[in-house]
Amino acid sequence: FNDLPAEIVAIIVQDAAKPTFTQDEEYELMNLYSTARELCLVSRAFRHIALPIMLHTVLLDSRNMPAFLHALHMQNEYAHTYPALRFEYTPYIRNIWFGERCGGRPSDAHVYSRFTSEPVSDLELIAPVLLSASSLAIEFWCLDLLEYCVELAWGRMDDNIDRGCLPLPWNIKTLTLSRITCDSWDMTRLASGSAFLASITHLIAIPPDERDISSHILFRTMCGVGCQSYAAPLWMEYVPWGSFERLERVSL
């Protein structure tokens, strides 16, 4: 790289740091972020180039969740000890996913550190990161974690100012839910949860469970639906559609 202009080096690093979410060839599956993480170890300059690319889409699977939580705790410690090393994640995250396959749910247990004056939990650190994304994909059973994050952000708003005059403390507009069940949506019982659902413009449900597929096939066999029709999944009856005040599109 010594003979290349800095602009060309930056383009090369950015391209190398992009995680590959699809693979056509048959080869051993590697960590999606392994290359970007290695680039971050080269130098501080490489780190500031690679991290924004790496953080654009965050997939928290069984390997990445523990590493991501560890990184958040490290950034929190840097904020108190070496501010120059701290990197703010939230401005760069656009899409984030986590669910059952993540390596352990973020804990609400407070972790003490000799570098910080106040203990902090995984959830307190991941909440602003989670809510900074414009698109969130989460499994239905994890809605309680989302509810906690939303309530935490809602509670930090200035009580002396009408909340209707303040910008919402989250950026999420597209909510993708998988493995939706017929259970109740408890977050609608809270003002924060209701405000969150009211701000969603695009709801995506993937994938349908086996019962939905079976009922759809059964209806088709009995001529209950036409070639362009679809038997609505049972869980749709339990969705609080009235809470989605700004909903523009639903994708099934």
Domain ranges of the chain: 1-20+28-55, 56-251
Q: Which long-range contacts (CB under 8 A, 24 or more apart) does 154-157 make?
A: 154/191, 154/192, 154/195, 155/192
Please, are residues 244 and 197 in contact by the beta-carbon 8 Å criterion? yes
- Identity of residue 46: F
- Report pLDDT for 61: 76
- Report pLDDT for 225: 54
pLDDT tens digit string along 24-43? 555 455 667 788 888 888 88
Q: Is the pLDDT of residue 73 over 80?
A: yes
Tokens read off for 217: 């096939």
Its pTM stands at: 0.80
Mean pLDDT calculated for residue range 46-50? 89
- Identity of residue 211: R
- Report pLDDT for 235: 84
Tokens read off for 10: 């930056």
- Report pLDDT for 236: 87
In the three-class reduction of DSSP (H, G, I as helix; E, B as strand; rest coil), residue 80 is classed as helix
Contacts of 133 (CB under 8 A, 6+ apart): 58, 93, 94, 95, 96, 171, 172
Please, are residues 137 and 176 in contact by the beta-carbon 8 Å criterion? yes
Q: How confident is the model at residue 14 (pLDDT cuts 50, 70, 90)?
A: confident
Buried b (16+ CB within 10 A) or exposed e, 76-115: bbeeeeeeeeebebeebbebbbbbeebeebbeeeeeeeee
In the chain, how long is the greatest CA-to-CA distance? 71
- Report pLDDT for 229: 61
Q: How confident is the model at residue 218 (pLDDT cuts 50, 70, 90)?
A: low
